[in-house]
Amino acid sequence: DRSIASGLNRNAIQAESSLLLLAWPGPKDARGYLLGASYSEVVAATSVPTMIAAIHPDRDLTEHRLALVARDEDLGPGNVPSLRIAADVASTLAQRGRPLIVGPVASGDLAAIDVDLPDAAEFPGGPEDLIEWVQHATEPGDIIILPFLGIELRSVAFEIYDSGRSVLAVTPNPESRSALNGS
C-alpha cells in the first residue's frame, strides 16, 4: 500500500473487522513524524470504527472500573454515532462483570437517543465540566471510555490520561458498523 494508514484500512476491510484498535504511542517526537503514521492519519484513512487505547502500563486493568464519558454536547445529532460506538465498547467490557459508571449526563438523556447500557450502570451525577466529573466520579487507574469526533483527540483525553486514568478514545468512521459484531 501507499501508506501505513491505507494498509491498515485495507487489512481491516479484508478481515471484515468491526473495530480497529490502535495503541496510543504517546506524544509525538520528531522521529515519529518522520517514520510512521500518526493515529490521526489512520483514523482519517479507515472506514471502520477506531479505538485508540492509552493504557498505563503499570496498572492491572482487571481491578479498575469503567467509565463512559457522555456530555450534553455528545447528545447532538453529529456526535451521537461516536457516543453509540463508545457505549457499545463500554457495554461489551462491562458484560465481564465490571462496574460501569456513566456521566455527566443522566440516564434519561441517553435513553432518549436510544443508547443502550447495562442495567447495572451507575449515573453518579456531578459537575458538568468533563475533567471535574472524571476527577469526581472516578479514581486513578479507572478506564475512561471517551467518544470523539474527527481525526484529532480532544486535549481532554490527554488531561485524563495524565491524571492516572487509562483512556479508550472511540470514533466512528463512514460506513461504520457496531463494535459488538466481530473481529
Instruction: Answer whether residue 179 shows pLDDT above 50.
Output: no
Question: DSSP assignment of 7-70, as one string?
Answer: HHHHHHHHTT-S-EEEE---S--HHHHHHS--HHHHHHH-SS-EEEEE--TTS-GGGS-EEEEE
Q: Rounded distance, CA 115 to CA 100, Å?
A: 14
Render pLDDT for 2-59 as a digit per residue (tens, 0 to 9): 787 788 888 888 888 888 888 886 665 544 444 455 677 777 778 888 888 888 888 7
Render pLDDT for 91-104 as a digit per residue (tens, 0 to 9): 998 987 788 999 99
Number of residues assigned to the chain:
183
Most confident of 49-58, 137-146, 152-161: 137-146
* Pick from 56-60, 113-117, 132-136, 151-155: least confident: 151-155
- What is this structure's pTM? 0.82
